[in-house]
Chains A and B, each alone.
With several copies, the nearest count.
Chain A
Amino acid sequence: MPVGDYRIKEIRKVADGIFRLAFAGNMEAEPGQFLQVAVGRTHDPLLRRPLSIHDCVDGEVVLLFHPAGRGTNLLAEKKPGDSLNVLGPLGKGFPLPAGQTAVLVAGGIGIAPLFYLAKVLKGAGKEIVFLAGARDTGSLYIPPELPALAADLRFTTDDGSAGRRGLVTEELPAILDRIKGEVYACGPLPMLREVARIARNSGVPCHVSLEARMACGVGACQGCTVAAVAGDWQKYKRVCVEGPVFGSGEVIL
């Protein structure tokens, strides 16, 4: 069902600035797809908020979010038992890699869709390298199941308080030299640019999950566009239907 009221089963803070929200429901979703979540029932805030599917198992769907503004702050105040109105799953998710190996690069809250992707890839028998970066140890969230999914899991923090010190992208060139796996990235725009550059240099395909302010989430308003590389009159692509996952060569990051 594309619009539904679901019951919140659990909501808790799992790291500095990261909440995990699980609601009861059955959905068939591809990794990389998102939900349009209504944070309230009055006219303010007016719009739904796009949030990636972080996990989707039998009878339960999980979101992972950073309270970034009015809407997500209101969402963080929800309690178990509250009802959550959701539209989705929406959008185009991550394609499976052509080869055996996938390199997943998550910056901050970018781990949200990539965890679910890792689960699905593992189910498909792929080998996973997972790079996760965060500001510091407090804001680093590694889902408990993740270590079992990734053959190689590495953390980076800006301040070195957990894992390697530095940027999550720094190890990527060496890894790609070694394994030539397909790259999947979600995180802040500067990170995505860097990942795309490294993948291009290494000659491997790269899939990025983009964010944009959205109104409809279904392709009707044309509000969520990103500049496309293709040369026809259609200079812009809609993140909500042509994305949120794009090949890094399709869009101008």
Chain B
Amino acid sequence: MNAVDLSVQIGRLKLKNPVMPASGCFGYGEEYAPYYDLSRLGAIVVKGTTADPCPGNPPVRLAETPAGLLNAIGLQNPGAVAAAAKINKLGALGIPVIVNVAGHSTEDYCRAVRILETESTASAYELNVSCPNVASGGMAFGTRPETTAALVKKVRALTDRTLIVKLSPNVTDIVAIARAAAEAGADALSLINTLLGMAIDIKTRRPVLANLTGGLSGPAVKPVALRMVWQVTSAVEVPVIGLGGISNADDAVEFMLAGATAVAIGTANFRNPYACPEVIDGIAGYLRHNGFASVTEIVGLAKKERPGGEHGAGKTDYCP
């Protein structure tokens, strides 16, 4: 069994393997610690953290859909100060700890980052710019290139730690937003966050979620996520963390072939608490089986090997 090199680089972070849990699907790590040694992970990404404590949305917060999950947790978290204590404990794992940061307004985001800069030993921030109820006229930061860029610049000025921007898929042109984030100083991009969705209970004749709408995740969204990873990695230079519907190593390999440098696993943890370590082992198995010495060799390979060599975002359907 020949050794394969699984390490990848995301900004200043050197990851020993490209697999991490997705924000909001792994708490602050405590819950999955009984299942395996968390230091096996490439990195750990913790729950969306806001400057102030946040109680979250009222129940019902979850609805199952075909091969998918709708959630409307509403960012329940103890706030940046209390989160910092939990984050610092994770430092003992010896792997990069990435904090997902959220807020209502630019000031909210900045305040959270300032607190985490002084109080926490976090290795990196993942800016969650897909929050629609914000100061700038009700439009989400992450749905316009200008607002994305403005926020990223502000946060960039506050920290030398690795800055990842997590993009919303609920947009017409993901590439424009990715470019704006990269140009404004993001070291890396994460995509995708959840697709906005809804479910209605035909017995009560009311929306299932108290919040009415929720975020769709899980295998159902994988084709959309993969397409966006392909498009964005064809257009920007910064590394991309691919996620959305990954539930096994084959899915993870698909994302890396599409151009992702690393992958994150969210909803799959709920079905299978061992999803992350199984994906790590499975990627190594794929590389060995196919004669690759390093995982970086397969990043974007589906673009490179394609005959014709047209590396763009592809033509689209429904056109003669």
Contact = CB atoms under 8 A, between A and B. Distances in A.
Taking the complex as a whole, does A directly touch B, i.e. does some CB pair lie under 8 Å apart? yes
B59 A227 contact: yes
Interface in B26-64: 26-27, 30-32, 34-35, 47, 53-56, 58-64
Interface of B: 24-27, 30-32, 34-35, 47, 53-56, 58-69, 71, 73, 76, 78-79, 218-220, 247, 267, 269-274
Contacts, number: 108
A225 to B, nearest CB: 5
A222 B76 contact: yes
B271 A38 contact: yes
B67 A47 contact: no
Contacts of B35: 2-3
- 3 interchain residue pairs of minimum CB distance: A233-B53, A235-B55, A223-B62
Interface in A153-201: none
A36 to B, nearest CB: 9
A46 B69 contact: yes
B219 A221 contact: no
Given A45-B64, A48-B271, A219 B31 contact: yes
Interface stretch (A119-127, A131-139, A140-148, A210-218): A210-218
9 contacts: A2-B34, A3-B35, A44-B219, A215-B270, A222-B61, A225-B56, A225-B61, A227-B59, A236-B56
A243 B80 CA distance: 26
A223 B73 contact: yes
A235 B54 CA distance: 9
A222 B56 contact: yes
B76 A47 contact: no
A200 B154 CA distance: 54
Nearest to A49: B64
A3 B64 CA distance: 21
A167 B60 CA distance: 27
A46 B56 contact: no
A87 interface: yes
B25 A220 contact: yes
B79 A233 contact: yes
A226 interface: yes
- Among A46, A227, A233, A235, chain B packs the most CB atoms within 10 A around the CB of A46
Given A226-B59, A235-B56, A236-B59, A221 B273 contact: no
B66 A212 contact: no
A112 interface: no
A222 B219 contact: no
Interface of A: 2-3, 38, 43-48, 87, 212-227, 233-236, 241
- Among B59, B66, B78, chain A packs the most CB atoms within 10 A around the CB of B59
Nearest to B218: A46
B270 A216 contact: yes
Given A218-B32, A221-B25, A223-B62, 4 more contacts: A2-B34, A47-B270, A220-B31, A233-B78
Contact of B273 (A44, A213, A218, A234): A218
A191 B295 CA distance: 35
B12 to A, nearest CB: 28
A244 B163 CA distance: 39
B63 A213 contact: yes
A214 B59 CA distance: 11
A48 B34 CA distance: 19
A233 to B, nearest CB: 4
B192 to A, nearest CB: 18
A48 B219 CA distance: 15
Contacts of B64: 45-47, 213
B48 to A, nearest CB: 10
Contacts of A220: 25-27, 31-32, 269-270
Contacts of B62: 213-215, 221, 223-224
Nearest to B73: A222
A217 B73 CA distance: 15
Contacts of B47: 222
Contacts of B61: 213, 222-225
A233 B75 CA distance: 13
A87 B270 CA distance: 10
B55 A236 contact: yes
Contacts of B272: 3
A236 B24 CA distance: 16
Nearest to B245: A43
Contacts of B24: 221-222
A48 B267 CA distance: 12
B274 A216 contact: no
A221 to B, nearest CB: 6
A87 B220 CA distance: 23
A226 B60 CA distance: 9
